[in-house]
Each structure stands twice: as C-alpha cells, then as structure tokens.
Amino acid sequence: MEVEIQVPDEVPVMTLPELAFFPQALLPLRIFEPRYRQMLQDVLEGNRLFAVACLDSDAAAVDPEREPPHRVACIGLIRACQGNDDGTSNLLLQGLCRVSIEAIVGEEPYRRIRVKALSSEPGAEPGENARLRTELTRLIKLKLKLSPGGIEGMGELLRSVEDPEIFSDIAAFNLCQSAPVKQRLLETLDVNRRLVLLLQVLRTEIDAALLNLKLQGGLPDDHISQN
C-alpha cells in the first residue's frame, strides 16, 4: 500500500483550509489561482504528483500571510484533468500516501515542500481490525440512513472494501464532518487506533442525529419551528 509508492523528495503542494486529504480518496479540484495554474502545468509535464495539506488554522490566526500547513499531508496523482476556456482547470486527484512535511523549500512561483513518506502499522491482530471494520460498516449504514443526501453509493463502496486501512481512510475522508478530526485521523498511523477513533466519531455524530430527530418530533426540516 503506502510503503510501495515511490515518493519524490520534493513536491508542489496546495495548502487549503478545512481540507484533509487521504490515501485512496478521490478529490475533485478547480484550479484557478495563477500560482496553481503554473503548478498544474508543470506537474502535468512531469510525474502528475502534488500534495494537498490542510491549513493549520490556529497558526494561520497568528500569521495568516504564511499559510502554515499541518505537518502531515497527502500526495495525490492527477487521474483526469480538463482545461476550461477561461484558463481554469477541473481535475480529479487520487490520494496515494501520507507524507510528513520536513521543510518548505520554496514559495515561488508556487509552494514546494520536502517530504518523507509515512507508512501505517496495523496496531492489532488482523481479526481485531476486521471486527472494527465490520462494526464501522454497521454504523455507517445507520449514519447514512439518519443523514440522507450524502455521497451516492458510499455505503455500497465501503462494504466492498475489505482492507481495514483503506476502509478507514475512505470513510474518514467522505463521512467525517469535522476538518480537525479528519486531520487527526490522517496523522494517526496506527490503523487500530484510527478505526477506534473513527468509531467514536461516528457514534457521536449518530447520537447527535438521533437527538435532532427527537427534538424535531417527526416534522420535516422546513417545519421544525412548529415543534
């Protein structure tokens, strides 16, 4: 999995607010800033790889001009790219592997970072991680039932993913609502701990959804004020 990927020592990076990107995830992006247009052109002429890092909002509050990233990011591969008449582009990025940001090596014409690939450890026996994956599948089904309108087919997709590590990353990226929680999951290299944390997050979100339904009293959303 992650350890099998040949990661360059340096890659371009997009530092984006409220976005933690994961291995195996698919991320649609619209490229419109001049610096990222140049980055995309260079990357497409090369290995089609760049990283996505989540903006560290706490550090950015102190020094917003620096756009400080969290230490752990994810490298992605451009799977598809379509240029538009106005010079913007739409692309689909597939997450490949976690990396730690060792240094920012340049800012012009776009940010480049020195990285080190990070590999996950099982953290528990295969049977235990498989058990947690099964429990997560059950909770995800319930969450999707309580919160309709999510990504179509996500439940079916996750049921087909047997590897607990891949399962946890796809589920975290697509189903977790909190960017800080996603970043914490991204930084958790112990797969067992990642699964346990994801279980805790889903249980909290399900409890909140159930409470909301109870308070709503069976009324549709647009009539909740009548409750």
Examine the domain organization and report whether 94 and 152 are in the same domain. no
Last residue of a domain, one of 117, 143, 163: 117
Q: What is the pLDDT of residue 183?
A: 97
Indicate the pTM of the whole model. 0.87
Is 45 buried (19+), middle (13-18) or exposed (0-12) by CB count in 10 A? exposed
Q: What is the pLDDT of residue 218?
A: 57
Cα separation, 149 vs 180, in Å, equals: 23
| Residue at 226 is within a domain | no
Tens-binned pLDDT, residue by residue, of the chain (227 aa): 444 558 899 999 999 999 999 999 999 999 999 999 999 999 999 999 999 999 999 999 998 789 999 999 999 999 999 999 999 999 999 999 999 999 999 999 999 999 999 999 999 999 999 999 999 999 998 888 887 665 667 878 888 899 999 999 999 999 888 999 999 999 999 999 999 999 999 999 888 888 888 887 755 554 444 43
Q: What is the pLDDT of residue 197?
A: 96
Cα separation, 44 vs 64, in Å, equals: 29
| Residue at 227 is within a domain | no
- The CATH number linked to 100 is 2.30.130.40
- Count up the domains in the chain and report the number: 2
Last residue of a domain, one of 117, 141, 169: 117
| Residue at 64 is within a domain | yes
Examine the domain organization and report whether 52 and 94 are in the same domain. yes
- The CATH number linked to 201 is 1.20.58
Last residue of a domain, one of 82, 117, 152: 117
Domain extent, residue 132, equals: 126-216
Nearest Cα to 212, choosing from 143, 133, 160, 109?
Answer: 143
Nearest Cα to 22, choosing from 185, 193, 218, 196?
Answer: 185
Examine the domain organization and report whether 40 and 18 are in the same domain. yes
Q: What is the pLDDT of residue 149?
A: 60
